[in-house]
Homo-oligomer: A and B are copies of this chain.
């Protein structure tokens, strides 16, 4: 099997680990001709991250990573930690505790983009402080947050919490989770907007979009379930996001969720740990003369942005992916998605807002 990777440098209780990932995407989208939306070939450097994590004596640690893809450099994780047994305190910009899919590293998801609701509902890393308590099969996470580092002048204030139960059932790993999210938008000028692309990130078109909602607050509630048994896994999530509209008494509640199943064609299994999916490590990587791992996945991905007079549209995605991991730190991924729209916000010339879009995405990725 592939050699394990120790911390690259370790002295006494010091450790320093450089981190990085590169993801290149290319593919096609095909939209109805009369809709006037751009389509065809697209490509991009999806992520180019470089950073470091490590420990320093006394139970302290840090992680920071920057993404150089896109027009400007952005901090992703930028935090310091203090650990004492089952307790971990984090201060800085880090993931709020929303959704199994969101918390799983982009290196380890089964599709090149996460479930539609995670972007649509604005899940992102934010600056704040949190505590995690992990004991046996239970994990409890809670934190308070301001906004992301690009929006430090906003007056948004959030609270998030998540609880996970992750028992073993014979050889099978089970996962059950629930999360709660609340953001108070303490600024009359602030608004929320929920929208999403058709599976691939290299297109700029979004066929579902609530437009700006003058909001006082948003509240979210999510449920998670997953199981891994040998070569097979299933996962499902649902997330309900409701918005307190400033000028209206009827507050819309939107929904997103997915159901997926995957199967390794090689003798491999999906990684899991700490309440999220982790790296797949091929049992017979190509460096040892093996084929690496090959995994086939299907997903139904639903996003409903229609409620209480808001007509943001409904996106129903029928997705399939094939992931070849020559080694644990490399992957070639093919994704196909058929996105079926109801009340799409981009109408065709004849006024049709009920149609489908095809998306094909390829990714080459490496990380260290």
**A329 part of interface (Cβ distance < 8 Å):** yes
Convert A11-25 into 0s and 1s, putting 1 for each residue whose CB lies closer than 8 angstroms to a CB of B: 111101010101010
- Give the distance in Å from the alpha carbon of A58 to the alpha carbon of B284 in the complex: 11
Q: How far is the CB of A208 from chain B (nearest CB, A)?
A: 23
| A:138-161 near B, CB below 8 Å | 146, 149, 152
Contact B22 A92 (CB under 8 A): yes
**Chain A: interface secondary structure?**
strand
Q: A48-B78, A56-B368, A80-B366 given as contacts; is B127 within 8 A of A24 (CB)? A: yes
A3 and B11 contact, CB distance less than 8 A: yes
Does A135 make an interface contact (CB < 8 A)? no
Give how many A residues have a beta carbon under 8 Å from the other chain's beta carbons. 59
Q: Which of B13, B78, B285, B330 contacts A3 (CB 8 A)?
A: B13
The verdict on A354 contacting chain B, using a C-beta distance below 8 Å, is no
CB proximity of A364 to chain B, nearest CB, Å: 5
Enumerate chain B residues within 8 angstroms of A50, measured Cβ to Cβ.
51-52, 64, 66
- The answer to the question of A54 belonging to the interface, with a C-beta cut-off of 8 Å to chain B, is yes
> Are the CB atoms of B44 and A79 closer together than 8 Å?
no
Residues of B within 8 A of A313 (CB): none
- Residues of B contacting A14 with CB < 8 Å? 3, 5, 8, 368
| Chain B residues positioned under 8 Å from A326 (CB to CB) | 58, 60
- Could you tell me which A residues sit within 8 Å of B by CB distance? 2-3, 5-6, 8-9, 11-14, 16, 18, 20, 22, 24, 43-45, 48, 50-52, 54, 56-60, 62, 64, 66, 68-69, 72-73, 75, 78-80, 91-93, 127, 146, 149, 152, 202, 285-287, 292, 326-327, 329-330, 364-366, 368
